[in-house]
Amino acid sequence: MAATLSYADHLVGTRTEDRTPLDLADLYCREARRRIEANFRAVRHHFNRSYGKVAGLLMDGQLDWLGEGAANPIPPQYRDWTSHDYEHPGVVPRPAPERVRPREAA
């Protein structure tokens, strides 16, 4: 807003007969203040507790009914992951990278 007001003031200073830059800057600043006030209202009136409650329900399995009938992207042999520690075919463990020593000054 400060840059807008400063530029409008500069334009009015160079063309004293034209006051429209101030009108345009005033409109811009009014809209900006409205957006800022709306953002502060949104911060004060959030739904964090509700999201936390629903997240807890989801993690406890109480919302499993939401996924009924949906496509399951997990292959059937891995769906019972809570009671098994499956080997993962095709995954080759990689060796740890070697540490590079810094060169000594000559």
Domain ranges of the chain: 2-44
Q: Tens digits of per-residue pLDDT, 1-41? A: 999 999 999 999 999 899 999 999 999 999 999 999 999 99
Q: Tens digits of per-residue pLDDT, 33-53? A: 999 999 999 888 888 899 999
Tell me the two tokens of residue 18: 């034209």
The pTM is what? 0.45
Written as one letter, the residue type at 97 is: P
Give buried/exposed letters for 46-69 (b at 16+ CB in 10 A, else e): eeeeeeeeeeeeeeeeeeeeeeee
Structure-model confidence comparison of residues 106 and 52, the more confident one: 52
Spatial separation of the C-alpha atoms in residues 4 and 26, rounded to whole Å: 9
